[in-house]
Chains A and B, each alone.
Chain A
């Protein structure tokens, strides 16, 4: 449980960090370290150098840009959990944060770190995928945005380019007045990795009909997936039980799901559908009540 030897650097600027990242294949970024340090301890990760970005200026904080909530990569999960802008404008993230690890890990773990780590069952990547977040990447002299749709490529594998530093997460803000969210997950023990998790954000119109729907499931395979077919089927309905059952049932049938010693593919398919239905019910209720 001791990592391999490595160098440690703490650059003073984002530019300097990007230059370091671009020059070295074996370098790893460390921020909160709550996923990376265990991987180092088990020697699953063997970097020659760690570049510590946790105290870099300009990389932490939450802002409302109007159509998006912009979260700096090194914003701590515990800070985001209690952030009023996130609670008001991106309540799905507020909803999932208490499910991540424990207070002691959320106190150091960062929003950007969880996304860069890309665990297939992790909650923050699920929210990013469900809401179609833009992930802003800084490179030497450049800045690009990658949509979550194209960002997660597989377990612990992302489209982050060599020399790129994940700098911001832009969670879209929905303009509708009545938005509701729901989240459910199943795990073996409290705060363990989720076996399966389902996240939902919906908007309802004045008649209580669903006018927008985002539905994502994590833990089923390579990365969190959005059930776009079910979303389309549900828009225009009143989210009645039959409509929900039909839409979720059809969507879950089509998914390629993996099994492991913790949960079989069949189990994940069944539980994923059940959690999605529950999350939809919660989202509908919160949208109609005007509270999350």
Chain B
């Protein structure tokens, strides 16, 4: 079944079985392996992508359902190749990761949070990432990273630091 997907600003037509999740389609058909496959049944949040800027679990939607949305994956948030977005940079600086498996989902969840709430409280951050499981128990530094990103984006005086 053919479906047209708008991913990271481009448009591509893929031919997939209806049972193929958006997650598998992104990874296998579009080569976007930054979206990580975790539990594959909507528990862990590792596969979180943005659909029209809202966090969505890519394992909980089939690729054939995903036409008409602007899909953003972790590959699509840096301003230019070889650079990092402000949020990604804050995750590096605050060391908001250990093994990195949950990181793409955490970063995209944070991006959506900061769009809605540019100055989130600690509770807002904790609530936002409550659907993203980190098994290295790195939540403390992940929360710090998101708070740091919020501060920097506020200081940058441009929407999301130009991106």
Measured CB to CB, the residues of A under 8 A from B are 1-8, 30, 33-34, 37-38, 40-42, 50, 52, 54-55, 78, 101-105, 107-108, 190-191
> A8-B18, A34-B42, A38-B41 are contacts. A104–B48 as well, Cβ < 8 Å?
yes
Residues of B whose CB lies within 8 Å of any CB of A are: 1, 17-19, 21, 24, 39-42, 45, 48, 51, 54-57, 59-62, 64-65, 68, 109, 112, 127-128, 130-131
- Residue in chain A with minimal CB distance to B48: A104
- Tell me the smallest distance from the CB of A257 to a CB of chain B, in Å: 27
25 A-B residue pairs with Cβ-Cβ distance under 8 Å, sorted by A, are A1-B39, A1-B40, A1-B41, A2-B19, A2-B40, A5-B19, A6-B19, A8-B64, A8-B65, A33-B61, A33-B62, A34-B60, A37-B21, A37-B41, A37-B42, A41-B59, A52-B65, A54-B65, A101-B131, A103-B54, A103-B127, A103-B128, A104-B131, A105-B60, A190-B130
Closest to B64 in A: A8
CB–CB B42/A107 < 8 A: no
Determine the chain A residues whose CB is within 8 A of the CB of B24 once the complex forms. 2
Which residues of B have CB within 8 Å of A2? 19, 24, 40
Q: How far, in angstroms, from A108 to B21 measured CA to CA in the complex?
A: 15
DSSP majority for the A interface?
A: loop
A244 to B51, CA, bound (A): 46
Instruction: Tell me which residues across on chain A come within 8 A of B131, comparing CB atoms.
Output: 101-105, 191
Residue of A nearest to B20 (CB): A2
Q: How far is the CB of A176 from chain B (nearest CB, A)?
A: 33
Residues on B with beta carbons closer than 8 Å to the beta carbon of A33? 60-62, 65
With contacts A4-B19, A37-B60, A38-B60 known, is A104 near B45, CB below 8 A? yes
Contact B61 A37 (CB under 8 A): yes
Which chain A positions have C-beta within 8 A of B17?
5
Who on chain A is nearest to B105 by CB? A104
- In whole Å, how far is B130's beta carbon from the nearest beta carbon of chain A? 5
Residue of chain B at shortest CB distance from A34:
B60
With A6-B19, A105-B57, A105-B60 given, is the CB distance from A41 to B65 under 8 Å?
A: no
With both chains docked as a complex, state the minimum distance between the C-beta of A6 and any C-beta of chain B, in angstroms: 6
Q: Are B55 and A103 in contact (CB under 8 A)?
A: yes
With the chains together, A222 CA to B48 CA distance in Å?
A: 33
**Bound complex: CA A28 to CA B1 (Å):** 19
Given contacts A2-B24, A101-B131, 15 further A-B contacts (CB under 8 A): A1-B59, A7-B18, A8-B62, A34-B60, A37-B21, A37-B42, A37-B60, A50-B62, A55-B68, A102-B45, A103-B109, A105-B57, A105-B60, A107-B54, A107-B56
